[in-house]
Structure 1
Amino acid sequence: MEKQTSANKPHIMTIPYPYQGHMNPMLQFSKRLASKGVQITILATNDVKTSKLAHTSSINIEYISYEIEQGDEIPKSVAAGLGYVNHKVLKRVPGIIEKHKASGSPIKVIVYDSLIHGALELAHKLGLRGASLFTQTCAVCSVYYHVQRGSLALPLEGHTVSLPSIPVLEIEDLPSLVQAHDRLYPGLLEVIKKQFVDLEKAEWIFFNVFDKLEEEIAKWLSSQWPIKTIGPSIPSMFLDKRLPDDRDYGLNLFKPDAEACIKWLSAKATGSVVYVSFGSVANLAQNHMDELAWGLLNSNINFLWVVRETEQNKLPGNFKAEASEKGLVVSWCPQLEVLAHKAVGSFMTHCGWNSTLEALSLGMPMLVMPQWADQTTNAKYVVDVWQTGVWVKARDKEIFTREDITNRIKDVMDGAKGEELRVNAIKWKEQAVEAMSEGGSSDKNIDEFISKVISTTT
């Protein structure tokens, strides 16, 4: 698609949820739209003012604070906190819409994170059209949708669940919020279910996946709503390489120690390092941290391990000294650069969707250690559907041991299983690149979206 002229340049507002795993996909989608000549205004937190994103000339930024205002009740649960974010967004957006309308560059469409309940109703109330972006997989969203409409009754009974167009799932393969039926985080499952309320009224529904990755379930969801796949939403230079300046997300809620990571990796042999990271939220119990630390060291394989500052007090007291020859522990790192580095041979991951999609897009075998939420279902797909990973612990075990860690690392890094995983991982990498390249499925879907926006606003 050719870039739009100033005369017919559509103006779209994008509203990400203010968590790293939700912000990155929306930001990348915004960049893609901007690269095709769309005028983009993104609603971002005040933290962004010091980031690379703040200096991106192709995207206009409106800022929002999610701090508790005087007189507002302090949220007492995760669900209440999510509700407060929605309240702040819905309060802030009308003023932004009016501002741009008065400037002669009116916003015509709002693309909002699916968790921002009320955004679609607000868009329509303001005379705009709305598009919902789901930052989890089609399979995970399908499970939640069946819970919402009552076709998957809770509490769960039996040992397996059979739903349209996805493999038979054991109970432990379902999202943890469904398994626990809201016992862990009261009210949170109800918040998740609200993503589907009045969803049929949305003009567009987007998923951060690519067509061949979830072909069957995407087709089934298309029979329910007008969904389109627009992923993988990761920087272009790691995929189709059509946007030379798009080399990173431009936003990190944590400060990566990029120089130390890349320098250390560059001194290692090709495919000799296992990269270990459990994302921006997961917290390992002390016994899990101990087993993981000594399992990594006992494998005698090079490792790069991300342990957030708030978690480093859980490391065994003498671990860093004992691991200095084989391992590097950092508080954060540039994950895409690490996964793309020739020295990295596998990725031990919690299976958050962004991390999983990055690994698939870069052809990286995985060792899966899901923690909660959608990660359990993502892990099931990585191991049994996409066949690019292995479970770290046996499914019938409550916890993993250092022996589990050591053995699975050796399986993936040195064994025949690892070769099989690498072949499959490269296949998905090629299909991810194809989807985002010119004329690919996701590229076409983005072009069609822009064309429809233009045709109904001129």
Structure 2
Amino acid sequence: MTLFPTFVNATKLMKPHFEKALESLPPVTFMITDGFLGWTLDSANKFGIPRLVYYGMSAFTTALTISATSLLRTKLSDDEYFQVPDFLWIKITRNDFDSPLRDRDPKGPHFDFIMELIMATSKSYGQLVNSFYELESVYVDYCNRISSPKSWCVGPFCAVHEPSKEKQEKPSYIKWLDGMLEQGKQVLYVAFGTQAELSPEQFKEIKIGLEKSEVNFLWVVRKSIDEVDDGFENRVKNRGLMVTEWVDQREILSHGSVEGFLSHCGWNSVVESICAKVPILAWPMMADQHLNARMVVEEIKIGLRVETCDGSVRGFVKWEGLEKPIRELMEGEKGKEGRKKVKEIGEAAINAVKEGGSSWQTLNELIHELTERRQV
């Protein structure tokens, strides 16, 4: 991540090639570009093409970031709770934000780049949100009232996916889940995304926590088994599977045996868990994940949170802080409540993208608006 500003600034070198590609296309009605490619706004304006932005974040995160910015510039300590000015029922800390947004006096290349993106976004035609209005209506309305451009909820994207009709060989991890289902066993899915780095010490605590919890689990790790195995795999072989290959997360979450998700709370993972109706044990690590975790646990109440040693949202997690909430998620009353709630929200998510649903109507409205604009 230290190379992030350098990398994203380097993408600007693609601009002439991007514009050459645009010139070769038939007339374009609109373009959708990653929010981090702010330079595409110049290209869009050059060719008179409306630019829609996609950041892959929730409206909840966007709204809280806008509302809390002024307080983050004060002397509040890192773990001191404060009320979000426009949403007084929500309490968060400075540690729920990443640098440079959390800094009292933000500056430097990364902050300059973020300001550049904000400016490009504000001058774009609209912002697509991988969410549905019923889930975040208060935050969508807030964003549309006080900032530009308009946010359009057209998701969840994963809920409109048509599974392949072709018969293919099942991956080994799905066969393993099938076996657990046949035995009537519930499984905890464990995955922390593709960016977060776990220290060796933290990795060790996860192994101990999973082992002592005595739950069945499928854990996707970004290490070779040789690096991982100190006898752990053998000790949990009847109830735990470690996978180092790429997995189809949506297929895992929708499997009948999976009843919980220990997650870093990246927004895509949250949305996929909602659509699969699986409650979440939140362990945020970076970017927007801490605010997503707040939403999961405190706002929509579809899960629990791991317990850090010092109570800070960025603190080290000992095995005890993992074992207890794992058991609660999979077997306890709070887990049952989260499971009931996520089923309700999951149904609403799926209905949103069906014909006549809120996201279906929003997408229709957006396409109609853009088509009319082009004809004018």
TM-score bin, normalised by smaller chain: 0.7 to 0.9
Could you tell me how far apart the structure 2 residues matched to 1:213 and 1:245 are?
28
Please name the residue that 2:98 is paired with. Answer: 176
Does 1:261 find its partner at 2:158? no
Aligned AA (1:228): W
Shift of 1:185: 11
**What secondary structure is seen at the aligned counterpart in 2 of 1:396?**
coil
Equivalent residue for 1:294, pick from 192, 197, 208: 208
Could you tell me how far apart the structure 1 residues matched to 2:18 and 2:300 are?
40
Equivalent residue for 2:23, pick from 98, 109, 113: 98
**What secondary structure is seen at the aligned counterpart in 2 of 1:351?**
coil
Equivalent residue for 1:227, pick from 127, 151, 154: 151
Aligned AA (2:232): F
Could you tell me how far apart the structure 2 residues matched to 1:339 and 1:291 are?
24
Please name the residue that 1:349 is paired with. Answer: 263
Shift of 1:191: 2.7
| 1:184-333 pair list within 5 angstroms | 187-223=109-145, 224-225=147-148, 226-234=150-158, 236-237=160-161, 243=162, 259-269=171-181, 270=184, 272-309=186-223, 314-331=227-244, 332-333=246-247
**What secondary structure is seen at the aligned counterpart in 2 of 1:176?**
coil
Could you tell me how far apart the structure 2 residues matched to 1:293 and 1:189 are?
37
1:150-198 Cα deviation digits (max 9, x unpaired):
6344365252142324743321562222575299996334433433214
Aligned AA (1:171): T
Q: Which runs of 5+ in 2 are unaligned?
A: none
- With normalisation by structure 1, the TM-score equals 0.73
Equivalent residue for 1:439, pick from 332, 356, 359: 356
Could you tell me how far apart the structure 2 residues matched to 1:176 and 1:431 are?
31
Residues 260 and 280, structure 2, Cα contact 8 Å, conserved in 1: yes
Residues 369 and 391, structure 1, Cα contact 8 Å, conserved in 2: yes
Equivalent residue for 1:408, pick from 314, 318, 325: 325
Aligned length, in residue pairs: 362
Q: Which runs of 5+ in 1 are unaligned?
A: 1-74, 238-242, 248-256
Residues 279 and 350, structure 1, Cα contact 8 Å, conserved in 2: yes
Please name the residue that 1:454 is paired with. Answer: 371
Pair 167,246 (structure 1): closer, same or farther in 2 beyond 3 Å: farther
Aligned AA (2:85): L
Please name the residue that 1:109 is paired with. Answer: 30
Shift of 1:370: 0.7
Residues 67 and 84, structure 2, Cα contact 8 Å, conserved in 1: no
Pair 207,453 (structure 1): closer, same or farther in 2 beyond 3 Å: same
**Alpha-carbon RMSD:** 2.7
Could you tell me how far apart the structure 2 residues matched to 1:272 and 1:345 are?
6
> What's the % identity of the aligned pairs?
24
Aligned AA (1:319): F
- With normalisation by structure 2, the TM-score equals 0.88
Could you tell me how far apart the structure 2 residues matched to 1:184 and 1:304 are?
40
Could you tell me how far apart the structure 2 residues matched to 1:212 and 1:430 are?
11
1:378-421 Cα deviation digits (max 9, x unpaired):
11111100101111114715321112222111111111111101
Which range moved further: 375-384 or 153-162?
A: 153-162
